[in-house]
Amino acid sequence: MRSSLLLLSLLVPLLLAGCDNAPPTGPAEVRWDRDTCERCRMLLSDRHFGAQYRDAKGKAHLFDDPGEMMLSFQEKTKSDSKLQLYVTDAESGEWLDARKAHYSVGHMTPMGFGYGAHKEPNRAAWFLLPCYNESPTV
Protein backbone atom coordinates (compact mmCIF):
# COMPACT_ATOMS: atom_id res chain seq x y z
CA MET A 1 0.00 0.00 0.00
CA ARG A 2 2.80 2.39 0.93
CA SER A 3 4.64 1.78 -2.36
CA SER A 4 1.41 2.44 -4.31
CA LEU A 5 0.96 5.77 -2.52
CA LEU A 6 4.56 6.69 -3.16
CA LEU A 7 4.24 5.83 -6.84
CA LEU A 8 0.98 7.76 -7.07
CA SER A 9 2.51 10.80 -5.35
CA LEU A 10 5.30 10.78 -7.92
CA LEU A 11 3.04 10.30 -10.95
CA VAL A 12 0.32 12.86 -10.14
CA PRO A 13 2.58 15.94 -10.53
CA LEU A 14 3.90 14.55 -13.82
CA LEU A 15 0.39 13.95 -15.11
CA LEU A 16 -0.79 17.41 -14.05
CA ALA A 17 2.23 19.04 -15.67
CA GLY A 18 1.36 17.31 -18.93
CA CYS A 19 -2.12 18.87 -18.95
CA ASP A 20 -0.80 22.32 -19.80
CA ASN A 21 0.39 21.53 -23.31
CA ALA A 22 -1.61 24.27 -25.03
CA PRO A 23 0.33 25.81 -27.90
CA PRO A 24 1.66 29.31 -27.29
CA THR A 25 -0.50 32.23 -28.36
CA GLY A 26 0.14 35.87 -29.14
CA PRO A 27 3.04 37.33 -31.04
CA ALA A 28 6.39 35.67 -30.42
CA GLU A 29 9.24 37.74 -29.11
CA VAL A 30 11.44 38.79 -32.01
CA ARG A 31 15.19 39.19 -31.61
CA TRP A 32 15.56 42.18 -33.93
CA ASP A 33 18.72 42.17 -36.05
CA ARG A 34 19.20 38.46 -35.16
CA ASP A 35 16.10 36.54 -36.32
CA THR A 36 15.68 35.99 -40.05
CA CYS A 37 12.71 36.17 -42.37
CA GLU A 38 11.34 32.73 -43.13
CA ARG A 39 10.82 33.59 -46.79
CA CYS A 40 13.89 35.62 -47.88
CA ARG A 41 16.28 34.86 -44.96
CA MET A 42 17.14 38.54 -44.41
CA LEU A 43 17.44 39.84 -40.85
CA LEU A 44 14.34 41.30 -39.24
CA SER A 45 15.53 44.81 -38.55
CA ASP A 46 12.72 47.31 -39.15
CA ARG A 47 10.42 47.18 -36.12
CA HIS A 48 7.74 49.14 -37.98
CA PHE A 49 7.16 46.56 -40.72
CA GLY A 50 7.59 43.15 -39.05
CA ALA A 51 5.07 40.35 -39.46
CA GLN A 52 4.51 36.86 -38.12
CA TYR A 53 1.97 34.11 -37.82
CA ARG A 54 1.60 31.19 -35.44
CA ASP A 55 0.53 27.89 -36.92
CA ALA A 56 -1.85 25.41 -35.27
CA LYS A 57 1.04 23.98 -33.21
CA GLY A 58 1.98 27.42 -31.91
CA LYS A 59 5.18 27.74 -33.95
CA ALA A 60 5.96 31.34 -34.89
CA HIS A 61 6.87 32.10 -38.51
CA LEU A 62 8.70 35.45 -38.74
CA PHE A 63 8.87 37.86 -41.71
CA ASP A 64 10.64 41.16 -42.39
CA ASP A 65 7.74 42.66 -44.37
CA PRO A 66 3.94 42.16 -44.20
CA GLY A 67 3.99 41.37 -47.93
CA GLU A 68 6.40 38.47 -47.32
CA MET A 69 4.05 37.02 -44.71
CA MET A 70 1.08 37.27 -47.06
CA LEU A 71 2.96 35.50 -49.87
CA SER A 72 4.08 32.73 -47.53
CA PHE A 73 0.62 32.50 -46.00
CA GLN A 74 -0.93 32.20 -49.47
CA GLU A 75 1.58 29.60 -50.69
CA LYS A 76 1.81 27.36 -47.65
CA THR A 77 -1.23 27.67 -45.47
CA LYS A 78 -4.02 28.98 -47.70
CA SER A 79 -6.82 30.46 -45.59
CA ASP A 80 -6.63 28.64 -42.26
CA SER A 81 -8.76 30.88 -40.01
CA LYS A 82 -7.17 29.35 -36.89
CA LEU A 83 -3.78 30.87 -37.65
CA GLN A 84 -2.78 33.84 -35.54
CA LEU A 85 -1.56 36.65 -37.81
CA TYR A 86 0.39 39.65 -36.47
CA VAL A 87 1.94 42.78 -37.96
CA THR A 88 3.75 45.68 -36.36
CA ASP A 89 2.25 49.16 -36.31
CA ALA A 90 4.01 51.34 -38.89
CA GLU A 91 4.33 54.17 -36.36
CA SER A 92 4.82 52.62 -32.93
CA GLY A 93 6.23 49.17 -33.74
CA GLU A 94 3.56 47.60 -31.47
CA TRP A 95 2.31 44.14 -32.48
CA LEU A 96 -1.26 44.16 -33.83
CA ASP A 97 -3.70 41.44 -34.83
CA ALA A 98 -3.28 41.51 -38.62
CA ARG A 99 -6.97 40.77 -39.19
CA LYS A 100 -8.01 43.84 -37.17
CA ALA A 101 -5.30 46.23 -38.37
CA HIS A 102 -5.89 49.02 -40.90
CA TYR A 103 -3.51 49.31 -43.84
CA SER A 104 -1.99 51.97 -46.03
CA VAL A 105 0.37 51.71 -48.99
CA GLY A 106 3.33 53.66 -50.23
CA HIS A 107 5.70 52.96 -47.34
CA MET A 108 9.40 52.17 -47.74
CA THR A 109 9.30 48.61 -46.40
CA PRO A 110 12.23 46.16 -46.20
CA MET A 111 11.16 44.15 -49.25
CA GLY A 112 9.35 46.91 -51.12
CA PHE A 113 5.77 45.69 -50.77
CA GLY A 114 4.85 49.07 -49.28
CA TYR A 115 2.11 47.99 -46.85
CA GLY A 116 1.95 49.67 -43.46
CA ALA A 117 -0.30 48.50 -40.63
CA HIS A 118 -2.06 50.85 -38.23
CA LYS A 119 -4.04 50.33 -35.04
CA GLU A 120 -6.51 53.13 -35.77
CA PRO A 121 -8.27 53.67 -39.11
CA ASN A 122 -7.61 57.40 -39.05
CA ARG A 123 -3.86 56.68 -38.81
CA ALA A 124 -3.89 54.75 -42.08
CA ALA A 125 -2.11 57.31 -44.21
CA TRP A 126 -4.31 57.63 -47.28
CA PHE A 127 -2.21 60.54 -48.43
CA LEU A 128 0.50 58.03 -49.26
CA LEU A 129 -1.68 56.58 -52.00
CA PRO A 130 -0.56 58.23 -55.25
CA CYS A 131 -4.03 58.06 -56.82
CA TYR A 132 -5.95 59.81 -54.01
CA ASN A 133 -6.03 63.48 -53.10
CA GLU A 134 -8.33 62.84 -50.15
CA SER A 135 -9.57 59.89 -48.11
CA PRO A 136 -11.57 57.45 -50.20
CA THR A 137 -15.18 56.91 -49.24
CA VAL A 138 -16.02 53.50 -47.91
What pTM value is reported for the model? 0.73
Q: Which residues are paired to 97 by β-bridges?
A: 86
Distance CA 80, CA 67 (A): 18
Is residue 23 a contact partner of residue 57, using CB atoms and an 8 Å limit? yes
Distance CA 66, CA 74 (A): 12
Phi-psi label, residue 46: left if phi above 0, alpha if psi -120 to 50, beta otherwise: beta
Tens-binned pLDDT, residue by residue, of the chain (138 aa): 666 555 556 665 655 555 557 889 999 999 999 999 999 999 999 999 999 999 888 999 999 999 999 898 777 666 566 789 999 999 999 999 999 999 999 899 999 999 999 998 876 554 444 433 344 443
Our CA angle for 22, 81, 59, nearest 5°, is 40
Name, in order, each residue with C-beta under 8 angstroms of 78's C-beta and a sequence gap of 6 or more: none
Residue-range domain boundaries for the chain: 31-128
